[in-house]
A = this chain, B = another copy of it.
Amino acid sequence: MGELEELRVETRVFADARDWGRFHTPKNLAMAVAGEAGELVAEFRWLTPEESMADHLTPEHRQAIESEMADVLIFLVRLGDVLNVDLARAVRTKLAANELRFPPVR
């Protein structure tokens, strides 16, 4: 089983154990992704681009950022589960389409 498939099963088991299925409509999960992405971008809003680099983040700030990244991925994986989307395949389809839109420069 692929890693994203594993995460899909783990997050589904987690949600089912809490009876969250009725909340996890595609509409609501898309809102959850957007909400967590908002928290992620908020972590970076007052930093200069340089301050946002891995070497300049405090351990606490890095921890907070990882936590928000995890939340975005959890809800994205849940959305992929309820819509039956193969996320890895979707990424590769998009990269292939972007190959044509943005020709490599080197």
Contacts and interface: CB of A to CB of B under 8 A. Distances in A.
Interface of A: 2-7, 10-11, 14, 17-19, 23, 25-28, 30-50, 52-54, 57, 62, 65-67, 69-74, 76-77, 79-80, 82-85, 87-88, 90-95, 98-99, 102, 104-106
A80 B54 CA distance: 10
Nearest to A32: B45
B35 A42 contact: yes
Given A70-B90, A104-B18, A26 B44 contact: yes
A9 to B, nearest CB: 12
Contact of A106 (B5, B17, B57, B77): B17
Contacts of A27: 44, 47-49, 52
